Structures are given as structure tokens and as C-alpha cells.
A and B are shown apart, each in its own frame.
Chain A
Amino acid sequence: MLELPVLIAVSLTYLGLLFAVAWWGDKRADQGKSLIANASTYALSMAVYCTTWTFYGSVGRAAVSGIGFLPIYLGPTLVMALGWFLMLKMIRIVKANRITSIADFISSRYGKSHGLGGLVTIIAVVGIIPYIALQLKAISGSVSLLLSYPEIVMPGRSATMSVAADVSFYVALILAAFTIVFGTRHLEATERHEGMVAAIALESVVKLVSFTAVGVFVTYGVYDGFGDIFQRVIADPALRRLVEAVPSGQGYTNWFSLLFLSAMAILFLPRQFQIAVVENVNEQHLRRAAWLFPLYLLLINLFVLPIALGGLLHFAGQGVDADTFVLTLPMALRHEGLVLLVFIGGLSAGTGMVIVETIALATMVCNDLVMPLLLRRQTVVMGQGRDLSRLLLTIRRGAIIVILLLGYLYFRLAGEAYALVAIGLISFSAVAQFAPALIGGMYWRGGTRGGALAGLSAGFLVWMFTLLLPSFAKSGWLPDAFLSQGLFGIELLRPQQLFGLTGVDEISHCLFWSFFANIGAYVGVSLLRPPMAAEATQAAVFVDALKETGSRSAVLWRGRAKVSDLQDLVGRFLGQPRAQAAFGAFARRHGAESIGKLEADARLVQFAESLLAGAIGSASARVMVASVAKEEPLSIDEVMNILDEASQLRTYSRELERKSRQLQAATLELQEANERLKELDRVKDDIMSSVTHELRTPLTSIRAFSELLRDDPKMHLADRERFLGLIVSETERLTRLINQTLDLAKIESGRADWNGCELDLKEVIEQSVAATSQLFREKKADVVLDLPDDPPLILADRDRLVQVMLNLLSNAVKFLPPGSGQVRVVLRSIDGGLEVGVIDNGPGIRPEDQQLIFEKFRQVGDTMTAKPSGTGLGLPISRRIIEHFGGRLWVESVPGEGATFRFTLPFAAAQQPAEAGTA
């Protein structure tokens, strides 16, 4: 069942299925119901990292170096731990600037430089070609193997066959056709391919399932679990070293180099950049991908070593290439269903990589290599009214074919001499060269275009010299002397022992020298001169990408343009309807009624440029916009000023926010103060009306008696004296009222004089009782004193306290029953102070009145019958005085059983100094 027609049918059916998924994904995306808008799909699509290198090559590597295949997957795991910082920043930058590829990213960072974009593209294409060759080798290898089934015959060398008889040539062509259908059916404004991502995610599942199936089959079907395989291997002296340690032949330097390279690759391989950064739908998806993707890597590697060891045991001495164990083990055991599943898994791994990688590369070739060249010959592009979107698609399709054919060429030239992993590592070393310029560009403002150009060129040249050219030499396409005797026969220039560096493997060797040259040139040249205007602008955009209000808000453009020109320009690359829609949306967003009402200001120009950047790359977009707008160049000083202003503005606005918060707080305080004032004003009015009312009563009496005296000269002397006596007492009451009102006003306003001193409360009480003794005698009442002998001193104003005592005593007297009245004055210590009680046996005070008596001008009792004899201010004043000295004054009473007025005062020692002084 494994004849060629079956294989072709299976392959085409599978590819057709993928295409259907992609088509469906695109359709859903157009409807706004994205198929890939979930974190797991994102994580699975990242697993495009696992190519045939992983599927077939890891086993081959493990058969030589044991766990030496693993660093390639540990590096990405470590990077994903930092993904939340690094990738998030890349995603933000890419989205804000509509960047579509890694070449665009680097070119955009260093002032939208065409030269730099082109260089990155060339490095990426040259660097990735071996990697594509790897996929061709693996896929065509698997096809050839299957064709000889049930025999296991290692495929012959392609180089010896004619191209027409070479399976891999047809594989390359089919893949090219398929990629074209996948990635370049129509032009995307943002270079996002949702359908493709969905298909890639599906492929990731297929390859994991397929590989795990083989793993389980070998581990548990052929052998008796992990333990069994390991025991057999340890028993075999030739294989034993594979599981004992990181093999000494490779060493820890190589281990570390691979770890580092793979960490760079997961960030900078064009396809990883495409999937993880450009195709990212929602940056929150990074959260799950950060652990789900490493978990995928762990799972797909779990069975690598068992399969490798199982293959070594099974095929001992039969000359079977370890890179093919995944396929040849099921073949040897005649497990046809599994063989087919493996074939499809390998196909998934290979096609996934080729599709994404070539689409990413084709975009770069088109936007950063071909477009800039076309733009030089303005007539080609600037012919009025030409719709250029078809031209762009044609360029990309051509690029895809060329890239795959180059991959095939490399495979024929050099691919046979190397194992799969070794070919892949050549590519990894190439893309790692992007690291200094790219990471430096994201975190260091000082990097310049010159520095990036120098660093990339130096790193790339060293890579070519130490890895790429030797791969040709080893395949016999360059003279052997190049390797053994060095360039031009100079020993120091032996490509894999450069300047005599020996003792490290070729990958570590290349990594060291290329990074030495790359970083050295990048930093060195960058430090030669300060960044120019365009570089400083972009540096700010990139470095500050994670700040909430980035420098993007700063408008860095000056000139004149026409809206219609801009729209026309965008329309020629994206199609007029799309341009119309985009400009219309922009107009609505910025409050303009129609596109015609838009002003061609810096914002609109930037908008148009970013639209174009999505289609043709930022450097070309810059040139195109410049061609329709009259621009005045900004000098570096102006750029720095604008950026400074923007950051100053941010500072100011923060300052302003702070001030406004303070102002709000102040306003609130003012409002409260105002409320208080209003309240006081109301109180004052109340007092005024009460006072006038209280004043009127005695005044009326005085006036009435005075008139009586005036009008009746014959009045009896006795009456006359009685009236005069009443006038005098009313006048006294009036005086007292006025004095107390003034006194209370003083206390309340805080202007009263307080003379705090330590005094003996017992003396104060005795003095007060003596002063009121006349009153008690008049009422025939007793005063009983219950005072301790030597009470502790308190801190208060003697005169004021006497005033309080007099008030309480005279109040008590007033309400005593005639004849049987008794007042007891009690002084006792309580916790922290002294308490004085003035206890009478009068009628008492009703509970509802017990608070009222402390209000101003409130006199309770039967005021209708008995003429009020007080002022209604005594108790309020007394309470204020006691409270001023830190005490409390209150009343306890049961109606009918008399009333008890009590007040407390703290000991002198407990008195706070502030309260003791004059207030």
C-alpha cells in the first residue's frame, strides 16, 4: 500500500485538508470571527519551530551525541520565561508601526533605512536557505525510503542524478506552489495570514501525535519500556556513552552554544518572528504560550532518545542513517499504518516550516529588496493610476519560487555531506547575527544605522567564512586546501581555526568570532557619532514602546501634502476601495465629516505611511510618502526638541494632574469650612434673636415700672420703693445677661483669658459655698460638704471654676423646696482625675430636658408661672469651662428625686500643656 501513487494521493489529500483549514480560517477572519483568537492556537502555531529537524533530525543527533540534541529546545524554554518582556515589547512595536518582517523591524528602528532592510533580507535569505534545504532533504528522503518499501535502502546521492529524476526537485516545486496558494492569494494590509496560522496549529498537533505514536510504538511495542531500552544500551559498551553524560566529544561549550543559538533562533528566525510577533492577535495570548509552547517542546522530545537508542540497537551494523530511524523502525517492523502516519507527520513538520518561512522571506524580499530597487526607477512605480497590488503579489510569488529553488540548489551542492541538525545549525548561526542590532535597538538609544550595518555585515561575513563556505568545501565544491591551509594559504585564516582558535566545535567557533565581530562593530561604529534625526526618532519609538504614553504621541513630521494624493498613493498599493474605507474610518475617528474635510496634517501623513508600511515595508513607505508630500526635513536638534517637549509635556501633565488633585482637596476643605461658617452664622443669628428676646423682658419691666413711677407722683412710698427695687434687680439681671453673653461669646470664639494654675479643688468648693451661703439661708436650706482631706491638685483657672461652682450652687438653690431643702457637695477621686457632684433634693429634671438645659437661653421648669430668674447661659458657660480644662459636665436626675450635676477634671499631671496655657 505504500506505492508512489498512494503516497502522492495521501500527500495531496493532506495538503488539501490544510488548505481547506486555511481557507476556512481566512473566511472566518473576514467575518470577524477569528479562528485563531485563542491562546492555545497561538502556542501551537509557535511550534512551527519544530521542523523535520525535530521530527527526523533530533533522533539522528541523539544517536551520535545522546542528550546533545536537547539544548535546541531548552534555549527557547528559557527565552519564553522572558517572553513576557521581550516578545511583548516586539509585539507592541510591530503593531504600533505596522511592521511586517524582521528586516522591516531592523530597518525601521535605524531610521527606516533601505540599505539596512536589504542587508537583513540578504542575511535572512542566505542564512535560511540551508534550513529549507534541510526540509527538502528530509521530505524527499522519506519519500525515497518509502518507495523502496519493504526493503530499507538508503537514498542515493541526489548530486549524481539528473534534476528531472530527483524527488527533492519535485518536492520543492510542489511546496512552492502550495506556499503561493497559501500566502499570496491576495495582499494583506497588515501581512497577517489567519488561515495559515490555523493550518500551522493543526500541523503542530499532527506532528506531535505522529511522533508520539512512533515513540510509544518503539518504547513499548518493540521494547519493554524506557528501562528496558536503557538497560540494553548500558550493557552495550559502544552505546553506553550516549546515556551516561553530555558526551565529552561535544562538551559543555557546544552545549552552551546550542542553548544560546536556539534562544536567539526562537526570537529571530523569520518564521518565528512572523508567527509569534506579526501574527499575534492578542498580546495576552503570550501568557499561555509562555508555558504551553515549552511544554509542547518537552512532549515532542520525550521519545527522541528511546527511538534513537532503539534504532541503534535494532539496526546495529546495517548502515541505516539515524536521521531516518523514525521512519525506518516502523518500516522494518512492517507497520504500514504507522509508517504512513509518520510520513504525514514529517510532511507536516516540513511543510509548516517551508510555508511560513518562505512567506516571511518573500515579504522581506519584496518589501526590503525589490521595492526599494523599483522605487529608484520611479517611472515603473509612479506611472499614474496604476494598481500596484498585483505587482507586489507577483514579486512575492517569484520570490517564493526562487527561495525554494535556492534551497534545492544548496541541498544538491552541500546538503549530502551533513546530517539534518548540522545543516539547521548553520541557519541558526546566521539568524543569531540579528541579535545585537535588534535587541540593542530595543533597549539602547545610542545604536545608529552605521553601527547596525557594520555589525550585521561583519557578523554575516564571519558566519559565511567560518560556516557556510566550509560546508561547500566539505561537499567538495571548494578545494580542500581552503579548509586545511586557510584562505590564500594563510594559516591564521583557516575558516574553522580562525586565528588559531582550536579546541572548540565549529558552531561555537563561528558563534564566538561572528559575535565578536558583530557586537564589536555595532557598538564601535555606533559610538563614532551621535544618532541622526531619523534614528533618534525611531530609537524613541522602539525603546519607549512599553511606556504607556510613548513618544508616538510626538508628531515628527513637517511639510505639506494633499489628502487626495495620499489616498491615491495608498490606493495604488492596497486597492482603491480599501484605501477609501481606511481613510473614511480615520476621518470618523478624528471627528471630520468626510474624507474631503480632512486636513493633511502630520497625523494623517503618519497614518497613510503606516498603511503603506503594512504592504511595502516602512522604508519604502517612507520614500513613497515623501514622493507625494512636500517635506521639510527636521534637524536632529528639532527632533530632540520635539521629543524633549513630548516628555516634558508628559511631566507637565502629570504635574497638572497632581495640582488638580490638590485643588480638588482644597476645594473640598473650603466647602466644609463654608458649611461650618454657615452653621456658625445661623447659630449667631439664633443667639442674636434669643439675646434680643431675653434683653427685652427685663427692659420691658424696667420701662413699665419707670412709667408707673413717672405717671403717678402720688404713689405710696412703700410702692415706690418696691418698684425701684424691682427696677434695680431687673437692671442687675440685664447687666448679668450682657456680661454672660459676652463671656460665652469670648469662650466660643476662643478669645477668653484662661489663667491655668495648679489648684486645690477643695478650696474652690469651700470658697464657692461660702459665697452662696446667704442664698441658702434665705431658702432655709442646708449645705452638706463631703470632701476628702487632701485631694490631688488639678490644673485650671481658679476664677472660672468658682464661676462654675457658683452657677451650680445657685441653680440648686433656686429649685430647692422651701424649708426642707438640702444640697450635698461631694468631691472624690476617680480614674485620672477628680469628680465633683452637686446633689439637690428639688423636683428633678425630666429626661427630655436633661440635654436642653445645656443649650443657650434654655430654662426649663414652669417658666409660665414662675418668673425666670436666670439668664439661661449659666450652664452652657459652665460646660464650656469644664470642657476647656479637659473635663466633662453632665446631669443625672430622676424626676421627683432631685438632680445631681457632676463634673470631672483631670489631675494636673495628666493635663496637656497646650490646654493648660492661655488659649
Chain B
Amino acid sequence: MHRRVLAGDRLVATFLIGCVLFNYPLLSLFDRRAPVYEIPPVYGYIFIAWAAVIALIAWAIERRIE
């Protein structure tokens, strides 16, 4: 029981983090900045945040909590 609740809470937390990461105002922080390693920051940011959210989902849902 406990295991399931924890995994569930992690997924909800991931959802909420994702909602914040993928929206205004965090997105606007990367507007019109100089490229980092030749990549425009807004583009790099979204893909990195996206990958992080996917990794969090995988971690929360696949991990067997002992």
C-alpha cells in the first residue's frame, strides 16, 4: 500500500514540475539570450527539461520501492 502511495505522489509531483517547467514565466527566462554552445537557450532548455521530466516519470513508475 505504502509503496503505491509513494510512487503515485512522485508521479503527481512530476506532473506539477512539468507544468511549471513548460510554461510562462520560466520559459520567458530564456528569451533572447545569446546561444550557449551555438544552441539557442530556449530550444536547449525545453529539450533538456523535457528529457528530465521523462526521466522522472520513468524513475517514479518503474522503480520498485523496497
- Residues on A close to B: CB < 8 A? 67, 70-71, 74, 77-78, 80-82, 84-85, 226-228, 230-231, 234, 243-246, 252, 255-256, 259, 287-288, 290-291, 294-295, 298, 302, 305
- Do A290 and B43 touch (CB < 8 A)? no
Q: Does B6 contact A (CB under 8 A)?
A: no
- Do A84 and B8 touch (CB < 8 A)? yes
- Do A227 and B54 touch (CB < 8 A)? no
Chain A-chain B contacts (Cβ-Cβ < 8 Å), number: 103
- A84, A227, A243, A298: the one contacting B61 at CB < 8 Å is A84
Neighbouring B residues of A82 by C-beta, 8 Å: 11-12, 15
- Do B42 and A243 touch (CB < 8 A)? yes
- B14, B24, B32, B57: the one contacting A244 at CB < 8 Å is B32
The 3 A-B pairs at the shortest CB distance, nearest first, are namely: A227-B38, A245-B31, A291-B58
- Do B40 and A255 touch (CB < 8 A)? no
- Do B18 and A77 touch (CB < 8 A)? yes
Given contacts A74-B22, A78-B22, A82-B12, contact A298 B46 (CB under 8 A): no
A81, A294, A298 — which one has the most chain B CB atoms within 10 A of its CB? Answer: A81
- A245, A252, A256, A291: the one contacting B54 at CB < 8 Å is A291
- Do B38 and A246 touch (CB < 8 A)? no
Residue of A nearest to B45 (CB): A67
Neighbouring B residues of A291 by C-beta, 8 Å: 54-55, 57-58, 61-62
Q: How far is the CB of A310 from chain B (nearest CB, A)?
A: 14
Neighbouring A residues of B30 by C-beta, 8 Å: 245
- Do A244 and B46 touch (CB < 8 A)? no
- Cα-based distance from A80 to B55 in the complex (angstroms): 12
- Do B11 and A84 touch (CB < 8 A)? yes
- Residues on B close to A: CB < 8 A? 7-8, 11-12, 14-15, 18-19, 22-24, 27-28, 30-32, 35, 37-40, 42-43, 46-47, 50-51, 53-58, 61-62
- Do B46 and A70 touch (CB < 8 A)? yes
Residue of A nearest to B32 (CB): A244
- Cα-based distance from A149 to B14 in the complex (angstroms): 48
- Do A246 and B31 touch (CB < 8 A)? yes
- Cα-based distance from A201 to B24 in the complex (angstroms): 35
Neighbouring A residues of B42 by C-beta, 8 Å: 67, 243-246
- B15, B18, B32, B35: the one contacting A245 at CB < 8 Å is B32
Given contacts A81-B57, A82-B15, A84-B8, contact A226 B23 (CB under 8 A): no
Neighbouring B residues of A71 by C-beta, 8 Å: 22
- Do B23 and A256 touch (CB < 8 A)? yes
- Do A80 and B57 touch (CB < 8 A)? yes
Neighbouring B residues of A228 by C-beta, 8 Å: 38
Residue of A nearest to B30 (CB): A245
Interface of B is mostly: helix
Neighbouring B residues of A252 by C-beta, 8 Å: 23-24, 27-28
- B7, B24, B50, B58: the one contacting A298 at CB < 8 Å is B50
Q: How far is the CB of A52 from chain B (nearest CB, A)?
A: 23
Residue of A nearest to B53 (CB): A77
- Cα-based distance from A227 to B40 in the complex (angstroms): 9
Neighbouring A residues of B22 by C-beta, 8 Å: 71, 74, 78, 259
A246, A288, A291 — which one has the most chain B CB atoms within 10 A of its CB? Answer: A291
- Do B27 and A288 touch (CB < 8 A)? no
5 contacts between A and B (CB under 8 A): A82-B15, A226-B39, A244-B42, A246-B28, A255-B27
- Cα-based distance from A228 to B14 in the complex (angstroms): 34
- Do A230 and B11 touch (CB < 8 A)? no
Given contacts A82-B15, A288-B62, A291-B62, contact A305 B50 (CB under 8 A): no
Q: Given contact pairs A244-B42, A290-B58, enumerate 16 new A-B contacts (beta carbons under 8 Å).
A: A67-B42, A67-B43, A81-B56, A85-B11, A226-B39, A227-B39, A230-B40, A231-B35, A234-B40, A244-B32, A246-B42, A252-B28, A291-B54, A291-B57, A291-B58, A294-B53
Neighbouring B residues of A246 by C-beta, 8 Å: 27-28, 31, 42
A80, A228, A231, A234 — which one has the most chain B CB atoms within 10 A of its CB? Answer: A80
- Do B18 and A226 touch (CB < 8 A)? no
Neighbouring B residues of A230 by C-beta, 8 Å: 35, 38-40, 43
- Do A74 and B50 touch (CB < 8 A)? yes
Neighbouring B residues of A298 by C-beta, 8 Å: 47, 50-51, 54
Neighbouring A residues of B7 by C-beta, 8 Å: 84
Neighbouring A residues of B57 by C-beta, 8 Å: 77, 80-81, 290-291, 294
- Do A81 and B8 touch (CB < 8 A)? no
- Cα-based distance from A298 to B43 in the complex (angstroms): 12
- Cα-based distance from A351 to B60 in the complex (angstroms): 34
- Cα-based distance from A84 to B4 in the complex (angstroms): 11
- Do A295 and B46 touch (CB < 8 A)? no
- Do A244 and B40 touch (CB < 8 A)? yes
- Cα-based distance from A96 to B23 in the complex (angstroms): 38
- Cα-based distance from A259 to B23 in the complex (angstroms): 9
- Do A302 and B18 touch (CB < 8 A)? no
Neighbouring A residues of B61 by C-beta, 8 Å: 84, 287, 290-291
Q: How far is the CB of A848 from chain B (nearest CB, A)?
A: 52
Neighbouring B residues of A84 by C-beta, 8 Å: 7-8, 11, 61
Q: How far is the CB of A134 from chain B (nearest CB, A)?
A: 25
Q: How far is the CB of A871 from chain B (nearest CB, A)?
A: 63
Q: How far is the CB of A32 from chain B (nearest CB, A)?
A: 28
Neighbouring B residues of A295 by C-beta, 8 Å: 54
Q: How far is the CB of B34 from chain A (nearest CB, A)?
A: 9
- Cα-based distance from A122 to B50 in the complex (angstroms): 36
- Cα-based distance from A16 to B42 in the complex (angstroms): 43
Q: How far is the CB of B13 from chain A (nearest CB, A)?
A: 9
Neighbouring A residues of B27 by C-beta, 8 Å: 246, 252, 255
Residue of A nearest to B62 (CB): A287
Neighbouring A residues of B43 by C-beta, 8 Å: 67, 230, 243, 305
Neighbouring A residues of B11 by C-beta, 8 Å: 81-82, 84-85, 290
- Cα-based distance from A256 to B20 in the complex (angstroms): 11
- Cα-based distance from A255 to B31 in the complex (angstroms): 14
- Cα-based distance from A646 to B35 in the complex (angstroms): 64
Q: How far is the CB of B61 from chain A (nearest CB, A)?
A: 5
- Cα-based distance from A78 to B61 in the complex (angstroms): 14
- Do B18 and A81 touch (CB < 8 A)? yes
Q: How far is the CB of B63 from chain A (nearest CB, A)?
A: 10
- Cα-based distance from A302 to B47 in the complex (angstroms): 8
- Cα-based distance from A291 to B61 in the complex (angstroms): 9
Neighbouring A residues of B28 by C-beta, 8 Å: 245-246, 252
- Do A226 and B24 touch (CB < 8 A)? no
- Cα-based distance from A77 to B27 in the complex (angstroms): 17
Q: How far is the CB of A74 from chain B (nearest CB, A)?
A: 5
- Cα-based distance from A259 to B54 in the complex (angstroms): 16
- Cα-based distance from A294 to B40 in the complex (angstroms): 23
Residue of A nearest to B34 (CB): A234
- Do B51 and A81 touch (CB < 8 A)? no
Residue of A nearest to B35 (CB): A230
- B24, B37, B53, B58: the one contacting A227 at CB < 8 Å is B37
Given contacts A231-B38, A256-B24, A288-B62, contact A67 B53 (CB under 8 A): no
- Cα-based distance from A675 to B42 in the complex (angstroms): 78
- A67, A77, A226, A255: the one contacting B38 at CB < 8 Å is A226
- Cα-based distance from A234 to B39 in the complex (angstroms): 10
- Do A77 and B40 touch (CB < 8 A)? no
Q: How far is the CB of B50 from chain A (nearest CB, A)?
A: 6
- Cα-based distance from A27 to B7 in the complex (angstroms): 38
Neighbouring B residues of A67 by C-beta, 8 Å: 42-43, 46
- Cα-based distance from A665 to B19 in the complex (angstroms): 51
Q: How far is the CB of B17 from chain A (nearest CB, A)?
A: 9
Neighbouring A residues of B14 by C-beta, 8 Å: 81
- Cα-based distance from A600 to B30 in the complex (angstroms): 68
Q: How far is the CB of A242 from chain B (nearest CB, A)?
A: 9
Q: How far is the CB of A402 from chain B (nearest CB, A)?
A: 39
B22, B30, B42, B54 — which one has the most chain A CB atoms within 10 A of its CB? Answer: B54
Q: How far is the CB of B6 from chain A (nearest CB, A)?
A: 13
Q: How far is the CB of A307 from chain B (nearest CB, A)?
A: 14
Residue of A nearest to B14 (CB): A81
Q: How far is the CB of A264 from chain B (nearest CB, A)?
A: 14
Neighbouring A residues of B8 by C-beta, 8 Å: 84-85
